[in-house]
């Protein structure tokens, strides 16, 4: 079956530091890949997506590249802000509807 593995947190960074959150997946076929974010007190929201190999998803300064050869979709940001503090979830869809498989989530804490 499908699975998503992401680095355990919490990840604690100082403001303006570089961020990487690792995500690897196991799936049959060619899934679509997503990063969702859950800010404190809010619901999950889509951050970015990529639907095929070598696609790069980007939003709000965050980027992730779909790497089929390494089955990875690592999330990166060049300079984090305190407002980026949240829980980040990597997810995949095998494109059979909206049945997403989520990773366990990584809590990011950014200190001023």
Partner 1 sequence: KAGVTQTPRYLIKTRGQQVTLSCSPISGHRSVSWYQQTPGQGLQFLFEYFSETQRNKGNFPGRFSGRQFSNSRSEMNVSTLELGDSALYLCASSTGTNANTGELFFGEGSRLTVL
The residues that touch partner 1, with contacts defined as CB under 8 A, are: 32, 34, 36, 42-46, 49, 89, 91, 93, 95-105
E strand map for 7-85: 11-14, 19-21, 23-26, 32-38, 44-50, 56-59, 62-65, 75-77
Nearer to partner 1, 53 or 99 (CB): 99
Q: Between 69 and 96, whose beta carbon lies closer to partner 1? A: 96
Matching residue, tokens 């980007």: 58
Pick between residue 70 and residue 98 the one whose CB is nearest to partner 1. Answer: 98
As measured in angstroms, the least distance from the Cβ of 68 to partner 1 is: 17
The smaller minimum CB distance to partner 1, of residues 12 and 95, is found at 95
Please work out, in degrees rounded to the nearest 5, the angle formed at the alpha carbon of residue 107 by the alpha carbons of 78 and 27. 85
CB of 31 to partner 1, least distance (A): 9
Q: Which residues sit opposite 12 in a β-bridge?
A: 109
What is the 8-class DSSP label of residue 28?
S
Q: Write down the least CB distance from residue 85 to partner 1, Å.
A: 18
Residue 84 near residue 23, CB atoms below 8 Å: no
């Amino acid at each position: 079956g499908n699975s998503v593995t992401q680095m355990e947190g919490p990840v604690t960074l100082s403001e303006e530091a570089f961020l990487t959150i690792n995500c690897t997946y196991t799936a049959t076929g060619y899934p679509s890949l997503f990063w969702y974010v859950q800010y404190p007190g809010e619901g999950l929201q889509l951050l970015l997506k990529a639907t095929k190999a070598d696609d790069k998803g980007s939003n709000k300064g965050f980027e992730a590249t779909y790497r089929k050869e390494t089955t990875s979709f690592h999330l990166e940001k060049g300079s984090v802000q305190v407002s980026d503090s949240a829980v980040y979830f990597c997810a995949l869809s095998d494109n059979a509807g909206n049945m997403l498989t989520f990773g366990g989530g990584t809590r990011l804490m950014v200190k001023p």
